[in-house]
């Protein structure tokens, strides 16, 4: 059982800093920040969960079944991540590429303390065993001193895949498309650094300040950190209503407002970008149909342009009403991994991706999010994100793009560098 109370507060930038600085004392921290974006179907401005009462971490073997049992038995707030490699629990697939991060494939925790922030107040949910700490904690947050510590600019980023190698691998992917093995696949490459000491919270705050995306996440699970500036929602459940918002299509921001407005029009009408987005929207419709009431799958927005601080993105919104009989975790399993990070047909694309990429994706292109006590959930797509294993001193971020028959290899590589810009700038 949980003790629930609320307090009046405005979530200012300074209060955010104080909240995160206070939260950092705990071994488990999940901070989800909308950065005040008016993204469709968003509810909270921000959520903080800290201090595990119970937790689950596992490899891919029967991972969804274990999570299903944990969520069903716990019936409480759960926060954590699903790695991309849970694909191997959904289909007969493997992951054999190099893994420098060594994160568990799935990791969730039941927090003792949860804070739900709206524009005007915060709703506080504490397990009864710690409900006498609410006032002490809130006062401690208000009085927390904000550190000015920053990350030393000495991290040397290496590329796992050279530019020539990238070109060769994309050429092979285009051969698969020409043969009809796939229509589209998301091809990713890793940027990394070894023997790295850094302040994860300072890196997250710098990354979030650059991008201010609607699905920003600071996730700390022991020595594993996910510092995410994701603009993309994977899947949200509210009652029986299910929403997915895949992104396909990217254009850079321009300083001149008139030229920037032209870039929006260009992206909205770009035949390659539209075809990519429509293919993935169709794939998501197909995924949702596995768990949807008959005839309930619909497209709310197709190829709509959303503008962020660094890029313009093309986003579609697809929804359905879930059939009764599917548990929250079963709904996720039937749509996992997200189509925007795989390709079409999905299984063929994942097989080809595995043979061509040089690094195990792990949490990258997986999902971070939460379950509520009533079985609702909301998960982002882990892109534009820095992953850090503090014990191994290994830091990594990956970027990718959709390869289709219309892809130009040089243009795809340039798009990868554009997507990598924010992560690289805060690390280097």
Q: How far is the first Cα of the chain from the last one, in angstroms, to the nearest whole number?
A: 46
Element at 90 (helix H, strand E): helix 87-90
pLDDT tops 90 at residue 140: yes
Cα 363 to chain centroid, rounded: 9
The DSSP 8-state label assigned to residue 359 in this structure reads B
Domain range list for the chain: 2-143+154-427
**Block residue for tokens 């694909």:** 87
User: How much is the average pLDDT of 392-407?
Assistant: 94
Cα 296 to chain centroid, rounded: 26
**Per-residue confidence at 56, pLDDT binned at 50, 70, 90?**
very high
Higher pLDDT, residue 279 or 328? 328
User: How much is the average pLDDT of 183-205?
Assistant: 95
The proportion of the chain whose per-residue pLDDT surpasses 70, expressed as a percent, equals 98
Q: β-pairing, 224-230 with 121-127?
A: unpaired
pLDDT of 310 reads: 84
pLDDT of 19 reads: 96
**Block residue for tokens 């998960």:** 379
The two three-digit tokens of residue 164, written as one number: 């020539």
CA distance 2 to 6: 13
User: How much is the average pLDDT of 228-252?
Assistant: 95
Task: Cite the DSSP H helix spans in 306-369.
Answer: 328-335, 346-356
Closest among 418, 321, 336 to 369, alpha carbons compared: 336
What CATH number matches the domain at 2-143+154-427, 3.40.640.10, 3.30.930.10, 3.60.120.10, 1.10.3720.10?
A: 3.60.120.10
Q: Are 317 and 243 in contact (CB under 8 A)?
A: yes
Angle between helices 328-335 and 271-289 (to 10 degrees): 140
User: How much is the average pLDDT of 89-112?
Assistant: 97
pLDDT tops 60 at residue 152: no
pLDDT of 43 reads: 78
pLDDT of 356 reads: 97
pLDDT of 39 reads: 59
pLDDT tops 60 at residue 75: yes
Lowest mean pLDDT among 145-159, 166-180, 365-379, 410-424: 145-159
CA distances from 319 to 100, 276, 299, 328, 371 (A): 36, 19, 6, 15, 19
Q: How many residues does the chain have?
A: 428
Burial of 254 (0-12, 13-18, 19+ CB in 10 A): middle
**Block residue for tokens 């925790």:** 109
User: How much is the average pLDDT of 194-217?
Assistant: 94
pLDDT of 428 reads: 85
pLDDT of 153 reads: 63
User: How much is the average pLDDT of 379-398?
Assistant: 97
Question: In whole numbers, what is the pLDDT of the chain averaged over residues?
Answer: 94
Task: Cite the DSSP H helix spans in 144-290.
Answer: 163-179, 200-211, 257-269, 271-289
Closest among 390, 332, 393 to 366, alpha carbons compared: 332
CA distance 264 to 394: 37
User: Which residues, at least 6 apart from 260, have a Cβ–Cβ distance to it below 8 Å?
Assistant: 253, 254
CA distance 262 to 232: 23
Q: What pTM value is reported for the model?
A: 0.95
User: Which residues, at least 6 apart from 149, have a Cβ–Cβ distance to it below 8 Å?
Assistant: 199, 202
pLDDT tops 90 at residue 286: yes
pLDDT tops 70 at residue 416: yes
Angle at 196 between CA 194 and CA 201, to 5 degrees: 130
pLDDT of 147 reads: 76
**Per-residue confidence at 38, pLDDT binned at 50, 70, 90?**
low
Task: Cite the DSSP H helix spans in 212-313.
Answer: 257-269, 271-289
pLDDT of 211 reads: 86
User: Which residues, at least 6 apart from 84, have a Cβ–Cβ distance to it below 8 Å?
Assistant: 337, 341, 361, 362, 363, 364, 365, 366, 382
User: How much is the average pLDDT of 184-213?
Assistant: 94
135-156: buried (b, 16+ CB within 10 Å) or exposed (e) per residue?
eebbeebeebeeeeeebeeebe
CA distance 182 to 166: 19
Q: Are 275 and 418 in contact (CB under 8 A)?
A: no
CA distance 372 to 374: 5
Q: Are 278 and 339 in contact (CB under 8 A)?
A: no
User: How much is the average pLDDT of 358-374?
Assistant: 98
CA distance 107 to 368: 10
């Amino acid at each position: 059982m949980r003790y629930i109370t609320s307090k009046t507060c405005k979530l200012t930038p300074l209060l955010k800093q104080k909240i995160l600085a206070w939260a950092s004392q705990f071994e488990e921290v999940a901070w989800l920040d909308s950065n005040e974006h008016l993204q469709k179907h968003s509810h909270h401005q921000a959520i903080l969960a800290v201090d595990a009462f119970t937790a689950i971490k596992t490899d891919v073997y029967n991972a969804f079944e274990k999570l299903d049992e944990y969520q069903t038995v716990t019936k409480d707030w759960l926060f954590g991540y699903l790695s991309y490699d849970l694909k191997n629990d959904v289909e007969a697939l493997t992951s054999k590429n190099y893994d420098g991060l060594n994160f568990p494939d799935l990791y969730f925790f039941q927090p003792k303390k949860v804070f739900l922030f709206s524009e005007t107040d915060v709703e506080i949910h504490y397990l009864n065993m710690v409900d006498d700490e609410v006032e002490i904690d809130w006062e401690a947050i208000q009085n927390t001193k904000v550190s000015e510590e920053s990350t030393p600019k000495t991290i040397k980023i290496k590329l796992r895949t050279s530019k020539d190698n990238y070109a060769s691998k994309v050429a092979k992917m285009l051969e698969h498309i020409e043969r009809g093995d796939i229509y589209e696949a998301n091809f990713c490459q890793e940027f990394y650094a070894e023997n790295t000491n850094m302040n994860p919270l300072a890196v997250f705050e710098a990354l979030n300040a650059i991008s201010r995306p609607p699905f920003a996440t600071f996730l700390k699970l022991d020595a594993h950190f996910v510092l995410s500036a994701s603009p993309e929602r994977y899947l949200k459940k509210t009652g029986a209503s299910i929403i997915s918002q895949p992104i396909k299509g990217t254009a850079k921001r321009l300083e001149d407002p008139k030229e920037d407005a032209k870039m929006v029009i260009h992206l909205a009408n770009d035949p390659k970008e539209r075809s990519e987005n429509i293919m993935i929207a169709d794939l998501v419709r197909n995924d949702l149909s596995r768990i949807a009431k008959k005839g309930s799958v619909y497209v709310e927005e197709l190829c709509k342009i959303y503008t962020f601080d660094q890029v313009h993105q093309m986003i579609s919104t697809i929804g359905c009403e879930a059939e009764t009989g599917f548990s929250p975790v079963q709904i996720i399993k039937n749509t996992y991994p997200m189509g925007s990070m795989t390709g079409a047909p999905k299984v063929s694309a994942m097989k080809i991706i595995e043979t061509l990429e040089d690094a195990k994706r792990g949490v990258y292109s997986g999902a971070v999010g939460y379950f509520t006590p009533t079985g609702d959930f909301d998960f982002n797509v882990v892109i534009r994100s820095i992953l850090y294993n503090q014990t191994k001193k290994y830091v990594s971020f990956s970027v990718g793009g959709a390869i289709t028959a219309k892809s130009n290899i040089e243009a795809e590589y340039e798009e990868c560098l554009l997507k990598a810009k924010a992560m690289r700038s805060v690390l280097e």
